[in-house]
Amino acid sequence: MVAKKAGATFLREAFSLEQRLLQVQLELSAKSVTHAGVQGEVSENRFLDLLRQYLPARYEASSGIVLDSLGQTSDQIDVVIYDSQYTPTLLDQKNHRFIPAEAVYAVFEVKPLINKPYLIYAGHKARSVRRLRRTSVPIIHAGGTYPARPLFDIVAGIVATDVTWSEGLRSSAFARALGSLNSDTRLDAGMAASGGCFDLYDGTLRLGSAERSLPDFLFRLLQKLQTLGTVPAVDWSAYGRVLSK
């Protein structure tokens, strides 16, 4: 019993410190970096480093542009969580990469605040990814062939330092702003390092406390990624046809 209590206390205190460290890092970049673009890039990298620390090896996280087999591209996305086991990225140069649409599990925008304009902005970024064409072909294995995997819905969300509403994410204004997004622009999850977290993974709005926003957000995201399973097998011949035209 003592060991169980000690273990639970350790986990709570460790994640509390991790959350406080993220808060300090985000606040430091906001106050010490004067150029908005550079400040945004610093914040993105903070969150990417955090995700890479906790995501299983089958996933990768980076900023980039999502590309489909028709040659269509998304907007530049702050954080893309994608398959690193079966799907290569394309035309990588330094920290810039094109990620095949079939490889994408989730996309997030990193902003200073969760407010209505940034929710709408993140929703538009999500739409630029969801509108892309994704292929799926049968998978050949030693015993035969698995049928082509059905496509899952790509998860989208927002990560920020704080929340603009005085009541935080429990504000009715937040619920209205989130509800105003449509099926293409919807945001499934979000976290403010100093202001709580939310998700709609179960079909209803679930809110997490400001004190545990980081672990609540991370473990719910990991659970959601687990339910998505493996990404579809890419029809590489479709990509090849674009190049042959």
Mean pLDDT of 155-161: 95
Model confidence at 10: pLDDT above 70: no
Higher pLDDT, 237 or 37: 237
Altogether, the residues listed in the chain come to a count of: 245
pLDDT for the residue numbered 151: 95
Average pLDDT, the chain: 87
Q: pLDDT by residue (tens digit) across 72-83?
A: 999 999 999 999
pLDDT for the residue numbered 92: 73
Q: pLDDT by residue (tens digit) across 111-126?
A: 989 999 999 999 999 9
> What H or E segment, with its residue span, contains residue 241?
helix 236-244
Q: How confident is residue 150, by pLDDT bands cut at 50, 70 and 90?
A: very high
The sign of the CA dihedral 80, 85, 86, 88 is positive
On whether the pTM is more than 0.85, the answer is yes
Model confidence at 35: pLDDT above 70: no
Question: Is 27 annotated in the active site?
Answer: no
Q: How far apart are CA 158 and CA 190, in angstroms?
A: 5
Beta-strand pair 104-114/155-163:
parallel
The sign of the CA dihedral 163, 166, 170, 172 is negative
Locus of tokens 């991370």: 218
Question: Is 109 annotated in the active site?
Answer: yes
Question: Is 111 annotated in the active site?
Answer: yes
Q: How far apart are CA 234 and CA 111, in angstroms?
A: 32
Q: pLDDT by residue (tens digit) across 181-221?
A: 999 999 999 999 888 999 999 999 999 988 888 889 999 99
The sign of the CA dihedral 138, 87, 51, 130 is negative
* Catalytic choice (60, 83, 109, 188): 109
Model confidence at 155: pLDDT above 80: yes
* Catalytic choice (111, 125, 162, 199): 111
* Catalytic choice (68, 78, 83, 188): 78
Model confidence at 39: pLDDT above 80: no
Mean pLDDT of 160-182: 94
The sign of the CA dihedral 219, 212, 161, 19 is negative
Q: How far apart are CA 194 and CA 209, in angstroms?
A: 10
